[in-house]
Chains A and B, each alone.
Chain A
Amino acid sequence: MVSLYYRVRRIRLSTIIINIVVWFIAILWLLPFIGLFMVSVRPYSEVVLQGWWTILGGHYTLNNYIQVLTNPMYDLLRGYMNSLTIAIPSTFIPLILAAMIAYGFSRFSFTAKNVLFILILLIMAVPQQTMVIPMFFMLKAMGLLNKLIGLILVHSSWGIAWIAFFMRNYFNMMPREIEEAARVDGAGWATIFFRIVLPVSLPALASAAAIQFTWVWSDFFFALMFIYSPEKMVITQKVVTIKGQFYVDWGLLSAGSILTMLVPLLVYAALQKYYLRGMVGWASGKG
């Protein structure tokens, strides 16, 4: 009895310590975002003297946000529109093409299957840097350099490999009875795929879409390589060019940063379950 009593007490004490330590780390991890937010809603001239951690007695304003969105020097609103124009088609084009490839991989057997599969895995691993130089000249030759449609083409092609891998794992785990029943009823492959398989795969498609959208939105390197006119630049390009007139104005820069990460954060908040599944699936190959 006595030993059991001590045991319960010991465990509870360690639980308390663990809670304190883990929550301390979590707050530490959150601190940069709190700081960023505080700086974004206060005049920078005030923050630079007092520090953003002096919460009381300061002035609060949305001026930084209004400035970065509407001032033609920063023009984040344009960046927003460009990023959306690119990210939406760059999510759905590879999604459908990759789902078709994945279905072919999952339901058919053919000679080059293993080779093509390894090719897909290799593409997933190599960096963007591996393909941008020839891509630059190809887009130039096609007249698509510095065009949003060129960047959509790049992102769509680049996204196919990982989505095909992700969807293939999902299809491999999906029961085939319904498809077989439909085939007995005389349905063709295309009907089965578009009418039966795709609708049941909505959760996996949502996972892939959430992640592909976030990645395209967050991309900086492709945009930096292929887009150079200020009016075509995407949000990630716009935000790094924000400066004050005479010095780095962190009020503007933090407001811009928050606006830039807002969209991925909203996608994550809305589709958290799918997002995490997609992340685990992308990394470890579990559908």
Chain B
Amino acid sequence: MSTEIKIKKRYLAMFLIPGFILVAIFVIGPIIGTFIISFETPNGFGLSNYYDVITETSPTKALVLLNDMPRPPPWGALIHNLVWTAIHLPATTFLGLLLAYLLRRVYGRSIVKSIMFIGMVIPMVVGGLIIRFMFDKYIGIVPNLCGLIGLTGLDKTWTSYPDTALIALIIGSIWLWTGFSLTIHAAAIDSLPKTYIEAAKIDGASDWQIFWKIIVPSVRAATLTVIVMTMLWDLKIFDIVYAATKGGPGGASTVLAFVMWLYFALDLAYGKAAAVAVILTLLTLIPAAIYIRQVMKRG
């Protein structure tokens, strides 16, 4: 018996150790390293990196910049991330869910699904370039349409002006990410028993009632997954910003991940860059905790 346990242990080690060595050295080690670097200051260990990045007032690197409100951005990277989430999260979650429900009655629904999903497949850098393209004064369709219907103030390259850059990116990210919510919700709706909806129909429920009273509550788990993953995505946003606006103009569309990169690559201020990375990481722990609880509950 004991030899069998020994053999089992040896095989378990064989399965786990090769992968976990890589993870330990190249993932867990550097994560711990970032925390340590964030406390390293010229005067020994301390919190001054955190103090500096939080109180920074230069618009391109500020995390919070809410003086003289209300006014157009820059509002600081952290606020931009929050505004981004506040618009993008409900918009994509709801639109995806609604489309997933309506799709059941659409001819060529698999084509529609594929079209909506393209945004999930393409590199986000390309997504950012396309956003710049769509909002370009000369060849972009949005400014040209705005000009056509008389919105002369919006007949410009959106990504080049502080009052429109952030919202252009947010709209673009809705375009890129709705396919995710649609796909996850469609899978959940497909797995519902058919009799569910049929029975409600026979009872005389309207489509709208079926959506709110039956579909929405029964795909709750999928919706929670979409919300968590979207929150994580909104916090991590970087490529789109880099490709479309480089955080500009004048920090009007910068985000946490971008500020972290600026500190690292331009200022060579590794302690401050690490401090921003830690702040970003701590924020992701909120959706992460919800996600982990959900997964552990399911087993």
The interface of chain A, by Cβ under 8 A from chain B, is 14-15, 18-19, 21-23, 25-26, 29-33, 35-36, 39, 47-48, 51-53, 94, 97-98, 100-101, 103-104, 108, 110, 116, 118-119, 121-123, 125-136, 138, 153-154, 156-158, 160-161, 164, 188-190, 193, 214, 217-221, 224-225, 236, 239-240, 250, 253-254, 257, 260-261, 264-265, 267-268, 272, 275-276, 279-280, 283-285
Q: Is the CB of B105 within 8 A of A19?
A: yes
Q: How far is the CA of A95 from the CA of B14 in the complex (A)?
A: 16
Residue among A31, A156, A193, A240 with max Cβ neighbours from chain B (10 Å) = A240
Q: Is the CB of B19 within 8 A of A260?
A: no
CB contacts (< 8 Å) of B25 on chain A: these are 157
Q: Is the CB of B277 within 8 A of A156?
A: no
Q: Is the CB of B16 within 8 A of A134?
A: no
Q: Is the CB of B19 within 8 A of A134?
A: no
Q: Is the CB of B102 within 8 A of A18?
A: yes
User: Could you name 21 residue pairs across A and B whose Cβ atoms are closer than 8 Å?
Assistant: A25-B99, A30-B115, A32-B133, A48-B138, A53-B141, A94-B19, A100-B16, A104-B16, A119-B28, A123-B28, A125-B288, A127-B280, A129-B260, A130-B277, A130-B278, A130-B280, A160-B19, A218-B122, A261-B122, A265-B121, A284-B225
Asked whether B139 is an interface residue with its Cβ less than 8 Å from the other chain, the reply is yes
Report the minimal beta-carbon distance from A275 to chain B, rounded to whole angstroms. 8
Q: Is the CB of A101 within 8 A of B27?
A: no
CB contacts (< 8 Å) of B34 on chain A: these are 130-131, 133-134
Q: Is the CB of B183 within 8 A of A279?
A: yes
CB contacts (< 8 Å) of B229 on chain A: these are 283
Q: Is the CB of B18 within 8 A of A51?
A: no
Report the minimal beta-carbon distance from A167 to chain B, rounded to whole angstroms. 11
Q: Is the CB of B129 within 8 A of A257?
A: yes
Asked whether B175 is an interface residue with its Cβ less than 8 Å from the other chain, the reply is yes
What DSSP secondary structure best describes chain B's contact surface? helix
Report the minimal beta-carbon distance from A101 to chain B, rounded to whole angstroms. 4
Q: Is the CB of B183 within 8 A of A26?
A: no
CB contacts (< 8 Å) of B125 on chain A: these are 218, 220, 236, 239-240, 260
Report the minimal beta-carbon distance from A193 to chain B, rounded to whole angstroms. 7
Asked whether B11 is an interface residue with its Cβ less than 8 Å from the other chain, the reply is yes
CB contacts (< 8 Å) of A224 on chain B: these are 242, 261, 265
Report the minimal beta-carbon distance from A105 to chain B, rounded to whole angstroms. 8
Report the minimal beta-carbon distance from B214 to chain A, rounded to whole angstroms. 17
Known interface pairs A22-B102, A221-B238, A285-B295. Does A131 touch B225 (Cβ–Cβ under 8 Å)?
Answer: no
Choose one: B102, B141, B183, B273; the contact of A133 (CB below 8 Å).
B273
CB contacts (< 8 Å) of B284 on chain A: these are 125-127
Known: A29-B178, A130-B277, A189-B14. 12 other contacts (CB 8 A): A23-B106, A29-B115, A29-B116, A123-B27, A127-B236, A138-B30, A220-B125, A240-B242, A250-B139, A260-B125, A284-B222, A285-B298
Total residues of chain B contacting the partner, CB 8 A: 94
Q: Is the CB of A35 within 8 A of B134?
A: yes
Q: How far is the CA of A65 from the CA of B125 in the complex (A)?
A: 18
Asked whether B235 is an interface residue with its Cβ less than 8 Å from the other chain, the reply is yes
Q: Is the CB of A126 within 8 A of B288?
A: yes
Asked whether B220 is an interface residue with its Cβ less than 8 Å from the other chain, the reply is no
Interface residues in B69-116 by Cβ distance below 8 A to A read: 99, 102-103, 105-108, 111-112, 114-116
Interface residues in B210-234 by Cβ distance below 8 A to A read: 221-222, 225-226, 229, 232
Report the nearest B residue to A15, measured CB to CB: B105
CB contacts (< 8 Å) of A130 on chain B: these are 30-31, 34, 277-278, 280-281
Report the minimal beta-carbon distance from A128 to chain B, rounded to whole angstroms. 7
Counting from the closest, the 5 A-B pairs by CB-CB distance are A134-B33, A125-B288, A104-B15, A218-B123, A157-B26
CB contacts (< 8 Å) of B264 on chain A: these are 132-133, 136, 225
Choose one: A31, A35, A239; the contact of B126 (CB below 8 Å).
A239
